[in-house]
Amino acid sequence: MIPWLEASGDFPPVEQALERPNGLLAAGGDLSPERLLHAYRLGIFPWFSAGQPILWWSPDPRMVLIPSDLKIARSMAKTLRKANYEVSADRAFERVIQACSEPRPQQHGTWITAAMRAAYTRLHRLGVAHSVETWRGGELIGGLYGVAMGRVFFGESMFSRATDASKIALVYLARQLNAWQFRLIDCQMRTPLLASFGAREIPRTQFTRQVAELVNYPNVPAPWVLGGFADPHTATVATTRG
């Protein structure tokens, strides 16, 4: 059993999260900006489907990417050197989160419900939720969004409408965050894609300890503007085989 959060109730300690399913901590509450930001500070995030109550998670271990540890496969480096795309930040947040909410092939429904879209759009208007967009010929072909607090970026979702479009956005995000001295990108749970870019799992205790420190740095002012790092169109990048 997991606790039910009343409107004014606080989260239980993350150590009380279930092992199966990994990280399920609590249900209920709301998606107000105050609760969401408090949750992220504690290493907790919401994840639920339509028809379910709000479910809160803090898995152990936690998948993270250190911006300075970004790995780029040779095939991806070749893609990045092409000049047939443009990358921006905070130009089309609502379009990005809408695209992320669209069901993938062989999927029914989405966990990015209308309530979730509205909640994160409020955070974007407050200057703490951000998007990175990949464009080609003026068309939005990929992107990602998440929440930034201090020197941590809490990744939420990404989408692609063209080959490697979301990967391009991820590379630009990681290189920009490295230039801004961010120390951590929260990837939440392990995926082969994120692992291929150098993301790794760390114990939840280590993750929450780092987050508790890093969220206290000043926020980068919004809206975000990309720049101040080597442009992947032309830069020499550390590569791996692939």
CATH at residue 167: 3.40.630.70
Which pLDDT score, from 0 to 100, does residue 9 have? 87
Residue 130 contacts by C-beta under 8 Å, 6 or more apart in sequence? 89, 90, 93, 124, 145, 146, 147, 148, 153, 222, 223, 224
pTM: 0.93
Residues with pLDDT less than 50, the chain: 108, 235-242
Are 117 and 210 part of one and the same domain?
yes
Are 96 and 137 part of one and the same domain?
yes
Which pLDDT score, from 0 to 100, does residue 239 have? 41
Are 55 and 75 part of one and the same domain?
no
Which pLDDT score, from 0 to 100, does residue 16 have? 98
Are 49 and 96 part of one and the same domain?
no
Which pLDDT score, from 0 to 100, does residue 233 have? 65
Name the helix (H) or strand (E) containing 192: helix 192-196
Are 169 and 219 part of one and the same domain?
yes
Are 77 and 39 part of one and the same domain?
no
Are 41 and 75 part of one and the same domain?
no
Separation between Cα atoms, residue 3 and residue 25, nearest integer Å = 8
Which pLDDT score, from 0 to 100, does residue 235 have? 44
Distances (CA, A) of 157 to 7, 86, 126, 166, 186: 27, 20, 19, 10, 11
Are 109 and 200 part of one and the same domain?
yes
Which pLDDT score, from 0 to 100, does residue 241 have? 38
